[in-house]
């Protein structure tokens, strides 16, 4: 097959926070993408506001760098397991991967996941040991860990014979060997040029596979993908071949865009090997093929792993419904979810018996919570349920998703963490000592991870770090202990008062401060024991002429426990919901009336008995 010696298509893959986006920044600087004196945001590829706030990459993005006569089409991919769908589909665009591994942390769960996907597609891998400037860096050991991982994942002899480059992405330095002197990333550019295969350029009728979708208010849907075969020019007649084989003809390629740094530039012609954007094609979806009108042949799109977690999204029916949101109805929520399906390939949405409730399936809690956070920022108001794992059946046996989990914790807290995780039917596979830190490696059911992060932070005084990735499906394990604390549930509607909180301080830890509006059935705190407690946080002090000298003035409430969206989703149980609006995140009972809740509980016990 003919190839393009002037093009290398490569994806940068790694565990979260191992420095992918920072390394791309350094490559931009060295190749002259940035003008002298130009103000540039750090991590320029993380353009989504949520990405900037959280310091993670959520969406895979394309860029291109021209360096020494070679065009490097680079895909910056997410590092978090929940966005694995993004990684899987973009790998079809490239012929090689740069596997980035932190010189101190070494092989982590997502390192294993992304490398497995790359090896399955028979992509050539270059290993970059990044952050060699860290005080706790152990680059030689990490190279051995990476080699062991290649062997464990069944790499061929050719795949396991990978080149290694040592880098400090922040400083823009790469080396062939640790003792080398270097002032730039030239060794990395050279290694990619030598070891990533030239882009294949098959002759014949035009074929381009859509691997990503973008939106623009002026031109509508934009399809991004690699040209597999032939060439095409602007206004050429084309056909769209859907994943199911349906052919839509009579179309024209109205606009072709190529990549240059962070910009997209209009080009007149695209040829096999190029990664481009096309627009002006109605109903374009990921997995579709854009083909020559005279030869409308489709390409096989990659199969994305199925979701492992589901949640119910429903119309907000709380007493405060409609006060803060712009889009409230089931029709508006449904339209938004259907629109998300067009670009979020790992997501599934289905209707339920209730017209106001939708089942949404994804790759993990974070995958779904990012969608919820995005919707609330767009003005949507909704309620969501506790996440549940998706149970499948194989040969008559119920199977559940199991995760590979790595926990890094200081040795002082390791015992408490091991005990806590052990109660959740986790199987320890390894324990490594790195300085004063213990690295604990487990396999455990996905449902055992719900709420675990918060528990580990409590046990380790906020220092434990947990990473996890889907591992396999295994027969359904037994019961797993849920939340150990009950909820403090308000019995009245009104405004929280300092006077009421002062009298209830011994009951637990509060999620609300004085002045917050609450309603009956709303969860306002975490109880000290495992029972739910109904309390009145809106009780006001009776006005009399008598005063206790200095009591009110001296009372200092501890600050309320901050409930982020993720922590709220982790906290709730099956009989509870998270109410999400553009301004607030509230926790509530499904049944707001206390007497009705008690009746429902009695009915459940009678039914179970």
Q: For residue 282, give the CATH number of its domain.
A: 2.40.30.10
Give the tens place of pLDDT for each residue, 315-361. 999 999 999 999 999 999 999 999 888 767 678 999 999 999 999 99
The answer to whether 130 is a known ligand-binding residue is: yes
Q: Are residues 531 and 595 both part of a single domain?
A: yes
Residue 457 belongs to domain with CATH number: 3.30.70.240
Residue 78 is predicted with a pLDDT of 59
DSSP conformation class of 112: H
Q: Are residues 528 and 585 both part of a single domain?
A: yes
Q: Are residues 130 and 211 both part of a single domain?
A: no
User: Which of 156, 171, 199 is the endpoint of a domain?
Assistant: 199
Distant-in-sequence, close-in-space partners of 24: CB < 8 Å, separation ≥ 6: 12, 44, 45, 63, 74, 76
CB 398 within 8 A of CB 476: yes
Q: How far does the chain reach from its first CA to its final CA, in angstroms?
A: 70
To the nearest 10 degrees (0 to 180), the angle between helices 139-152 and 109-120 is: 50
Helices first, then strands: H and E counts in the chain? 15, 37
Q: Are residues 506 and 570 both part of a single domain?
A: yes
Q: Tokens 């986006």 sit at which residue? A: 21
Say whether pLDDT at 57 is over 50: no
The answer to whether 333 is a known ligand-binding residue is: no
Mean pLDDT, range 402-429, rounded to an integer: 89
Give the tens place of pLDDT for each residue, 91-148. 888 899 999 999 988 888 778 878 888 888 889 999 999 999 988 889 999 999 999 9
Residue 603 belongs to domain with CATH number: 2.40.50.250
Say whether pLDDT at 399 is over 50: yes
Nearest CA to 382 out of 335, 435, 312, 436 is that of 312
Say whether pLDDT at 264 is over 90: no
The answer to whether 144 is a known ligand-binding residue is: no
Q: Are residues 146 and 15 both part of a single domain?
A: yes
* Structural domains counted in the chain: 4
**For 369-431, what is the HEC assignment?**
HHHHHHHHHCCECEEECCCEECCEEECCEEEEEEEEEEEEEEHHHHHHHHHHHHCCCCEEEEE
Distance, in Å, from the CA atom of 16 to the CA atom of 77, rounded to the nearest integer, reads 10
Give the tens place of pLDDT for each residue, 499-541. 888 888 888 889 999 999 999 999 999 998 888 899 999 888 7
Distance, in Å, from the CA atom of 42 to the CA atom of 135, rounded to the nearest integer, reads 23
Distance, in Å, from the CA atom of 504 to the CA atom of 500, rounded to the nearest integer, reads 6
Nearest CA to 249 out of 241, 257, 258 is that of 241
Nearest CA to 466 out of 568, 363, 571, 366 is that of 366
Say whether pLDDT at 56 is over 50: no
- Three-state DSSP class for residue 194: helix
Residue 114 is predicted with a pLDDT of 81
Region of poorest pLDDT, from 74-88, 176-190, 223-237, 290-304: 74-88
The pair of three-digit structure tokens given for residue 297, joined into one six-digit string: 């042949």
Nearest CA to 104 out of 148, 135, 81, 64 is that of 135
- Residue 330: Cβ-neighbour burial (10 angstroms; 0-12, 13-18, 19+): middle
Q: Are residues 579 and 540 both part of a single domain?
A: yes
Residue 302 is predicted with a pLDDT of 64
Residues above pLDDT 70, as percent of the chain:
88
Question: In angstroms, how far is CA 402 from the centroid of its own chain?
Answer: 18
The answer to whether 132 is a known ligand-binding residue is: yes
- pTM equals 0.72
Distance, in Å, from the CA atom of 292 to the CA atom of 434, rounded to the nearest integer, reads 57
Q: Which domain holds residue 244?
A: 207-292
Q: Are residues 157 and 238 both part of a single domain?
A: no
Q: Are residues 460 and 493 both part of a single domain?
A: no
The answer to whether 17 is a known ligand-binding residue is: yes
Distance, in Å, from the CA atom of 274 to the CA atom of 325, rounded to the nearest integer, reads 43
Q: How confident is the model at residue 221 (pLDDT cuts 50, 70, 90)?
A: confident
Distance, in Å, from the CA atom of 314 to the CA atom of 247, rounded to the nearest integer, reads 36
Q: Are residues 462 and 526 both part of a single domain?
A: no
Say whether pLDDT at 48 is over 50: no
Q: Are residues 283 and 428 both part of a single domain?
A: no
Q: Are residues 537 and 503 both part of a single domain?
A: yes
Measuring CA to CA, how many Å separate 257 from each of 75, 162, 195, 403, 485? 16, 34, 28, 40, 55
Q: Are residues 23 and 155 both part of a single domain?
A: yes
The answer to whether 131 is a known ligand-binding residue is: yes
The answer to whether 497 is a known ligand-binding residue is: no
The answer to whether 20 is a known ligand-binding residue is: yes
Residue 38 is predicted with a pLDDT of 42
């Amino acid at each position: 097959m003919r190839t393009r010696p002037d093009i290398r298509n490569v994806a940068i893959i790694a565990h979260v926070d191992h420095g992918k986006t920072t390394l791309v920044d350094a490559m931009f600087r060295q190749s002259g993408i940035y003008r002298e004196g130009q103000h540039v945001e750090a991590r320029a590829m993380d353009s989504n506001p949520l990405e900037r706030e959280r310091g993670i990459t959520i969406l895979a993005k394309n860029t291109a760098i021209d360096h020494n006569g070679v065009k490097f089409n680079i895909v910056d991919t997410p590092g978090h397991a929940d966005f694995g769908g993004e990684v899987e589909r973009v790998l079809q665009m490239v012929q090689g991967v740069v596997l980035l591994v932190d010189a101190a942390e070494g092989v982590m769960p997502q390192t294993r996941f992304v490398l497995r996907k790359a090896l399955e597609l028979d992509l050539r891998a270059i290993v970059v040991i990044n952050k060699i400037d860290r005080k706790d860096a152990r680059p030689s050991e990490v190279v051995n860990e990476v080699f062991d991982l290649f062997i464990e994942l069944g790499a061929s002899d050719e795949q396991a014979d990978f080149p290694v480059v040592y880098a400090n992405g922040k400083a823009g330095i790469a080396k062939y060997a640790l003792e080398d002197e270097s002032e730039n990333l030239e060794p990395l550019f050279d290694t990619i040029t030598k070891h990533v295969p030239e882009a294949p350029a098959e002759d014949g009728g035009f074929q381009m596979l859509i691997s990503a979708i973008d939106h623009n208010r002026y031109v509508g849907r934009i399809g991004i993908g690699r040209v597999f075969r032939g060439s095409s020019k602007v206004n050429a007649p084309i056909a769209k071949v859907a994943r199911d084989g349906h052919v839509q003809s009579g179309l024209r390629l109205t606009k072709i865009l190529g990549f240059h740094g962070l910009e997209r530039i209009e080009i007149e012609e695209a040829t096999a090997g190029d990664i481009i954007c096309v627009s002006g094609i109605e109903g374009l979806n990921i997995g579709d093929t854009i083909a020559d009108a005279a030869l409308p042949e489709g390409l096989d799109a990659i199969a994305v792993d199925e979701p492992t977690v589901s949640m119910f999204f429903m119309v907000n029916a709380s007493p405060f419904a409609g006060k803060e949101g712009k889009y409230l109805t089931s029709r508006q929520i449904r339209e938004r979810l259907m629109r998300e399906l067009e670009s979020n390939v790992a997501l599934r949405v289905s209707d339920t018996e209730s017209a106001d409730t939708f089942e949404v399936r994804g790759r993990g809690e974070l995958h779904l919570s990012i969608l919820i956070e995005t919707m609330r920022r767009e003005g949507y108001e909704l309620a969501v349920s506790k996440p549940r794992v998706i149970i499948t059946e194989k040969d008559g046996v119920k199977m559940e998703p199991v995760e590979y989990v790595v926990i890094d914790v200081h040795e002082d807290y390791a015992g408490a963490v091991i005990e806590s995780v052990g109660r959740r039917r986790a199987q320890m596979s390894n324990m490594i000592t790195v300085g004063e830190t213990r690295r604990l490696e487990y396999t455990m059911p996905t449902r055992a991870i719900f709420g675990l992060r918060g528990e580990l932070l409590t046990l380790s005084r906020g220092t434990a770090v947990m990473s996890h990735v889907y591992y396999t499906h295994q027969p359904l394990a037994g019961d797993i202990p849920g939340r150990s604390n009950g909820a403090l549930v308000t019995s009245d509607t009104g405004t929280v008062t300092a006077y009421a909180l002062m009298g209830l301080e011994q009951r637990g830890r509060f999620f609300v401060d004085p002045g917050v509006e609450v309603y009956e059935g709303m969860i306002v705190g975490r109880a000290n024991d495992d029972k739910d407690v109904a309390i009145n946080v809106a009780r006001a002090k009776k006005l009399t002429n008598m005063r206790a000298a200095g009591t009110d003035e001296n009372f200092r409430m501890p600050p309320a426990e901050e409930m982020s969206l993720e922590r709220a989703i982790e906290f709730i149980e099956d009989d509870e919901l998270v109410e999400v609006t553009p301004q607030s995140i509230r926790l509530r009972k499904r049944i707001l009336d206390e007497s009705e809740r008690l009746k429902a509980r009695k009915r459940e016990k009678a039914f179970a008995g």
